[in-house]
Chains A and B, each alone.
Chain A
Amino acid sequence: EADIYQTPRYLVIGTGKKITLECSQTMGHDKMYWYQQDPGMELHLIHYSYGVNSTEKGDLSSESTVSRIRTEHFPLTLESARPSHTSQYLCASSVTLGVAGGGPSGANVLTFGAGSRLTVL
């Protein structure tokens, strides 16, 4: 069973509104990620965190911000939404190699949430 939850699943808002997409995981994973998925399906890493109080920007520039105050929680915020922010946002987590659950194989396996589909009018 997937133990990573995203809310809301769907959101339609007007331009200029502030929104926060929530992501929580109950697996104790130290690594968490946000991906933006365009209509062509391609995934773009926009933020990641390797632990509490650690956040980094990903490969795709994004106007969103993230925070990691607790291990289980990794919210994404847009201060002023625009139509160009319309997209599917996927949150994921993974366990550090060598930690229980990471396995002897050393593979960094992601667990994804169901996604948040944002539409900005």
Chain B
Amino acid sequence: GDSVTQMEGPVTLSEEAFLTINCTYTATGYPSLFWYVQYPGEGLQLLLKATKADDKGSNKGFEATYRKETTSFHLEKGSVQVSDSAVYFCALSDSHRDDKIIFGKGTRLHILP
């Protein structure tokens, strides 16, 4: 079945460092790909998405490109801030199948001032 694998955390970086959180997926169809973020004490919220190959999703300085050839959707940010400290989830859904959302296990990010 479909699955999502993302790098394990925690990831600890200094403020203004470059961030990459790796995410790869397995899917038999043509999924949409997402990154969700969960700040402390809150539910998840959509950070960005891409619905077809080579699409780039972007929001709040974060970017991810849908790479069909490598089945990847890595999250990047050029200069992180303390306020980016959160848990990040990679996810997919396939609208041509049951449309169920499949989440990765989450990556906790700590940004040090």
Chain A partners chain B: yes
A residues within 8 Å of B by Cβ? Answer: 2, 6, 31, 33, 40-43, 45, 48, 90, 92, 94, 97, 105-115
Q: Which one of A6, A42, A108, A110 lies within 8 Å of B95 (CB-CB)? A: A108
Q: Please, which residue of chain A has its CB at the minimum distance from the CB of B89?
A: A43
Contact (Cβ within 8 A) A41 B87: yes
B82 contacts the other chain (CB 8 A): no
State how many angstroms separate the Cβ of A37 from the closest Cβ of chain B: 9
Docked CA distance A110–B91 (Å): 11
- Residues of B near A115 (CB, < 8 A) are 42-43
User: Which of B49, B51, B99 has the largest number of chain A CB atoms within 10 A?
Assistant: B99
Q: Please, which residue of chain B has its CB at the minimum distance from the CB of A115?
A: B43
15 pairs, A vs B, C-beta closer than 8 Å: A2-B45, A41-B105, A45-B100, A97-B95, A105-B51, A106-B32, A107-B32, A107-B93, A108-B32, A109-B49, A110-B44, A111-B46, A113-B43, A114-B41, A114-B42
B residues within 8 Å of A by Cβ? Answer: 32, 34, 36, 38, 41-46, 49, 51, 87, 89, 93, 95, 99-101, 103, 105-106, 108
State how many angstroms separate the Cβ of A60 from the closest Cβ of chain B: 12
- Residues of A near B108 (CB, < 8 A) are 41
Q: Please, which residue of chain A has its CB at the minimum distance from the CB of B1?
A: A59
